[in-house]
Amino acid sequence: MVRVRFAPSPTGYLHVGAARTALFNWLFARHEKGVFILRIEDTDVSRSSEQMSQVIMEGLLWLGLAWDEGPIFQSKRLQIYQEKALWLLNQGKAYECFCSPEEIETRKREIEARGGVWKYDRYCWRLSLEEKEMKKKEGRKGAIRFLVPPGRTQFKDLIHGVISVDHSQIEDFVLLRSDGLPTYHLSVVVDDLDSRITHVIRGDDHITNTPKQILLYQAFGATPPEFAHLPLILGPDRKKLSKRHGVTSLLHYRDQGILPLAMFNFLAQMSWSPGPEERIYSIDEMVANFSLNRISKNSPIFDLNKLEWLNRRLIKEMKAEELLIWLKPEMEKKGLWQPSFEKENWAWFKRVLDLIKGRSRNLIDLIGNLKPFITEDYLIDPIGYEKYLREEKLLELLPRLRKDFELLTDFVAPEIEKTLRKRAEQEGVQAALFIHALRVLTLGKTVSPGIFEVLELLGKEKTLARMNLETARTKLAVSTANQN
């Protein structure tokens, strides 16, 4: 059975690149009906924090990447790594090293001064037993280094193809530091073995680590798992993705009103395509179509326009009921939610949502578009005010139209439209004069969905109350003050 893992180091927020690695692991596990494990690589105690682990888990759960096993915390397994390192030592596959960083640095500089390339010179491997004892007596604590055997390691990466490295390129790397903490290579292999990982899917910044880890598997007498190294995400300038290209924290995008399914599609569609079209795919479709073989080895570009496009499209296509799952908590946070929206006023609320969702880029935008329908606390666009409400004629004509509306018994879109057009005709003005003015008056905006439907959904009472230039002027003052 397929068993994969996502193994973040909790030293910062959850990076979008790491989230994408998690997502491909998850898709592969689901497609293969396997197991997805979460492992927190927190052995670097000074740089890891409990809070960061929480943020990582929050991010994974927001994306929908629930894990089947774990979280396994490496910091709780230090003894196991120590035992494994000692085992290798006793087998003669590793040796103690007493060199201090300063001593290594001096020898390294000498080699480099002679134009050579430094690699640990096996100084401590050559020490006699007595010499070792002496070092210990001096109070030196030994690290444990892996004794790289001669030869060549070759493996077939599922994305990059055959990779082959001569062992002369690999130095005797440290397994256990003198303070007893494992290095990444030791802990990763011990844990992947313990968890019976079948496929290691991770960023291709780890490709050079893989031959070392394969050597370790062999030293433990185990068969290495399969490896698939995902190409790293680049910024639009084809340089490694960094803060210069936009925010790289996953949860930032949640806070910006991006829906998890849009983010899921965005991340999945970097290096892989779930199908022939550029569109939103459901999780089920992606799980069904997933294949590691179809991941491209070319680096994808982090294109925020695409994320925005996907999110806009998703909001537009989502049923109001589904949208509510994400919208309601956001509205609650802003104090805008009323229980009646999903009860007695649901039919109305749903119509409002259906009317405005096609014009919303994200949840925050959607809430902004929703506000005039549910509260008086919406802003008036000053440009719209200047352009459409300064018209002299309105002073006289608006109250007349208001009166017409007041007399309407059936305040529905077709009747509202008929009434407005009739009034415009009687007064010899363009209907657009009223339409533009009403948009700014009732929504605070210069663009909107069909205004007649907007007015119907706002209701007669609100519409009449807002058809007042004086009120609009007061609101404008508030809006301008808020903007400054």
Cβ-proximal residue to ligand GLU, closest one: 202
- State the DSSP H helix or E strand holding residue 228, giving kind and residue range, or none if neither: strand 226-230
Report the residue number, 21 or 369, with the smaller CB distance to ligand GLU. 21
Binding segment (CB under 6 A) for ligand GLU, from list 3-11, 52-60, 240-248, 249-257: 3-11
Q: How far is the CB of 76 from ligand GLU (least distance, A)?
A: 16
- The angle at the Cα of 342, spanning 338 to 347, to the nearest 5 degrees, equals 115
Which residue type occupies 153?
A: T
Distance separating alpha carbons of residues 137 and 421, to the nearest angstrom: 100
Q: Pick from 9, 25, 48, 53: which binds ligand GLU (CB under 6 A)?
A: 9
Closest approach of Cβ 188 to ligand GLU, in Å?
Answer: 5
Q: Kindly state the DSSP code that residue 181 receives in the 8-state scheme.
A: P
Q: What is the CA radius of gyration of the chain?
A: 32
User: x/- binding map, residues 22-61, to ligand GLU, per CB under 6 A?
Assistant: -------------------x--------------------
- Smallest gap from Cβ 18 to ligand GLU, in A, equals 7
Residue 306 designated active-site: no
User: What are residue 153's DSSP bridge partners?
Assistant: 165
Nearer to ligand GLU, 232 or 429 (CB): 232
**Shortest reach from residue 17's CB to ligand GLU, in Å:** 10
Q: Provide CB contacts within 8 A for 363, sequence distance 6+.
A: 257, 258, 259, 315, 326, 327, 330
Q: Answer whether 443's CB lies under 8 Å from 378's CB.
A: yes
Q: Is the CB of 7 or the CB of 451 nearer to ligand GLU? A: 7
Reading the block at residue 267, the tokens are 């991340």
Smallest CA-to-CA distance from 226 within 239, 213, 235 is with 213
Distance of alpha carbon 275 from alpha carbon 286, whole angstroms? 8
Phi, psi of 423 (to 5 degrees): -60, -40
Which of 4, 7, 55, 175 is in the footprint of ligand GLU by CB under 6 A? 7
**Choice between 8 and 224, CB closer to ligand GLU:** 8
Structure tokens at 463: 């519409």
Q: Which stretch binds ligand GLU (CB under 6 A): 7-15, 99-107, 230-238, 245-253?
A: 7-15
Q: Binders of ligand GLU: how many residues, by CB under 6 A? A: 7
Question: What are 11's two structure tokens?
Answer: 């030293």
Name which position in 57, 144, 188, 397 contacts ligand GLU (CB under 6 A). Answer: 188
Instruction: List residues bridging with 394 in a β-sheet.
Output: none
Residue closer to ligand GLU by CB (options 7, 292) is 7
Looking at beta carbons only, is 192 or 453 nearer to ligand GLU? 192
Please say which residue, 206 or 252, places its beta carbon nearer to ligand GLU: 206
* The pair of three-digit structure tokens given for residue 456, joined into one six-digit string: 């119907």
Q: Which of 30, 84, 202, 212 binds ligand GLU (CB under 6 A)?
A: 202
Taking the C-alpha atoms of residue 484 and residue 482, their distance in angstroms, rounded to an integer, is: 6
Q: Which among 1-9, 80-88, 296-304, 305-313 is the span making contact with ligand GLU, rule CB under 6 A? A: 1-9
Contact, 422 vs 431, CB < 8 A?
Answer: no
- Nearest distance, CB of residue 206 and ligand GLU, angstroms: 5
Q: Given 243, 334, 371, 460, which residue is catalytic?
A: 243
**Binding status of residue 153 toward ligand GLU by CB under 6 A:** no
**Angstrom distances, CA of residue 327 to CA of 146, 167, 398, 426:** 54, 56, 36, 44
The structure tokens listed for 437 are 């003015």
| Residues 206-225, mask of contacts with ligand GLU (x by CB under 6 A) | x-------------------
Distance of CA 300 to the CA centre of its chain: 15
For the bound state, the minimum distance from the C-beta of residue 184 to ligand GLU, rounded and expressed in Å, comes to: 7
Contact 301, 269 (CB under 8 A): no
Q: Which stretch binds ligand GLU (CB under 6 A): 4-12, 102-110, 232-240, 357-365?
A: 4-12
Q: In the complex, what is the shortest distance from the CB of residue 217 to ligand GLU, in angstroms, rounded to a whole number?
A: 13
Residues whose CB is less than 8 angstroms from the CB of residue 232 and which lie 6 or more positions away in sequence, other chains included: 17, 203, 204, 205, 240, 241, 299
- The residue within the footprint of ligand GLU, chosen from 3, 4, 8, 388 (CB under 6 A), is 8
In this complex, which beta carbon is closest to ligand GLU, that of residue 26 or of residue 95?
A: 26
Closest CA to 466 of 428, 437, 423, 425: 437
Min dist. Cβ of residue 4 to ligand GLU (A)? 10
Q: At its nearest, how many Å lie between ligand GLU and the CB of residue 70?
A: 13
Q: Give the nearer residue to ligand GLU in terms of CB position, either 292 or 380.
A: 292
Both tokens of 122, joined, read 């096996």
Q: What is the CB neighbour count within 10 angstroms for residue 193?
A: 17
Query: How far out from the chain centre does Cα 206 lie?
Result: 21
Residue numbers annotated as active site: 243
Residue ranges in contact with ligand GLU by CB under 6 A: 7-9, 41, 188, 202, 206
